Amino acid sequence: MSREQKHIAVVGATGAVGIEILKCFEQRNFPIGELTLLASARSAGKILSFRGNDVVVKELTPDSFKGIDIALFSAGGSISKTFAPHAVAAGAVVVDNSSAFRMEDTVPLVVPEINGDDVNTHQGIIANPNCTTTITAMALYPMHRAFGGVKSVIAASYQAVSGSGAQGIIELEGQANAIAKGESLPERKVYSRQIAFNVIPQVDVFLDNGYTKEEMKMLNEARKIMHVPDLKASVTCVRVPVYRSHSVAVTAVFHDKPSVEAAREAISAAPGVHVIDDPYADTPVFPTPLDSTNGDDCLVGRIREDLVMENALTFWVVGDQIRKGAALNAVQIAELLL
């Protein structure tokens, strides 16, 4: 594709990621000549603003993709499975934010700063990784390159409720307000336990090996993105009462002996990620979820030599899972297609 103005479709345009995709398009001056916004029948007819103009949301159907150059999907795996083939058949390239196609051999799984060249192998569909995987990989990959490759990872994620959609935020707010007023908690609809003033060590469903689907995504997707098929990982994903931005504590073992200073230099030289790390300042410096909220870049701190494993560093990374973990990464993939 060239950088000539394109006909772009956004599937799931009224959802949180869809709206964020439109913001990214505006902020990055993406060359859009025509924009088609698609959603379910109940959202059809809604009006969204884009570059000062009102755009009417249309109902998603198999015939929605005639003349579309790039279609960004963010409406869930079942919708992608059903409608992405129609988009490809109509001549569009699909950038899919769901897990529907991520592990298919013919579908590249792309974080542009890491494996952007993989878009060239697409056969009509390019997958956007899981948000926690993306945020972790943004910090891990510069060290992977600097220290002879990563061998294994032990990680624990601290994932914001907006990762569950708008209902996750509503449930947290409702419980927090009820507790503050001394009232009974409202009925839970999203989480298996109270999320206000609590943490829940379950994100997604449990598998036969005792890990959740979310935890296995980080292993399997990181292998594919970083081209490290023998990577080992043990991950625990935790839902925390934070509105937005995910955090991950990581211990990574490398083939070569790493150093904290070299790690800071490697991360600082990499695109899309910054070091915020001065534990000995009068007020210790490290990133928190609020520091990355509404930002494009992932932030890394608490970098230190691990005290248990050889050739290992332990670090902390935060990133906005709606931006870099979803919408921004999808738009960056679309930019690569140009």
Please list the active-site residues: 131, 246
Q: Which is nearest to 218 in space by CA: 237, 238, 242?
A: 237
Classified as helix, coil or strand, 226 is helix
Burial of 51 (0-12, 13-18, 19+ CB in 10 A): exposed
DSSP 161: G
Rounded to whole angstroms, the Cα distance separating 37 from 22 reads 10
Rounded to whole angstroms, the Cα distance separating 206 from 98 reads 19
85: which residues sit within 8 A by CB, 6+ positions away? none
Rounded to whole angstroms, the Cα distance separating 292 from 138 reads 13
Write out 163-220 in H/E/C secondary structure. Answer: HHCHHHHHHHHHHHHHHHHCCCCCCCCCCCCCCCCCCECCCCCECCCCCEHHHHHHHH
**What value does the CA radius of gyration of the chain take, rounded to a whole number of Å?**
20
Which DSSP helix (H) or strand (E) runs through 17?
helix 16-27
Other C-beta atoms within 10 Å of 218: how many?
Answer: 27
For 112-158, the DSSP string reads: HHHHGGGGGG-SSEEEPPPHHHHHHHHHHHHHHHHTT-EEEEEEEEE
